[in-house]
Amino acid sequence: MKRLILLCLFSTAIVISACNKTEQDNQKKSVAASPSFALKVINWGPQSAKLGANPNIQPDGSIGLWIEVAGTEGLGEAQLIFSGQPAKLTVIQDRLITAAVDADQFSFLGDREISIKQVETGKLFPVGMFKITAH
């Protein structure tokens, strides 16, 4: 039993270490921003939700959004902007941008503009419109 517990603890430590390393690598990759960078959005989602529903609930209750892009090299540090407000968290990978948006942003009907902001230059790249509809 003690061996099993130690094995579980060791395995968990390896997973946490790997996750931290990946997060650090992603942050390093997104450091250099190019003012001439052009973000090409391939797909994104979810693109709509019914009022009061969370189509992609995250552990903290926020709503998760993903954006598939042609590439992020040259983007630098970036934020997902949802209805004029920065996401709680934005993660940049080679061909994917993910974000956690506060669920309060989904509490009334209508369309919400989504864009990616290149922090260093302030440049906004349009992603699309998120639609919140009645039940």
pLDDT at 52 over 60: yes
Is the confidence at residue 122, as pLDDT, over 70? yes
Determine the pLDDT at residue 110.
Answer: 96
Please report the pLDDT score of residue 31 as a whole number: 58
User: What share of the chain has pLDDT > 70, as a percent?
Assistant: 77
Which distant-in-sequence residues (6+ apart) come within 8 Å of 44 by Cβ? 65, 66, 67, 68, 114, 127, 128
Task: Answer yes or no: is pLDDT of 84 > 70.
Answer: yes
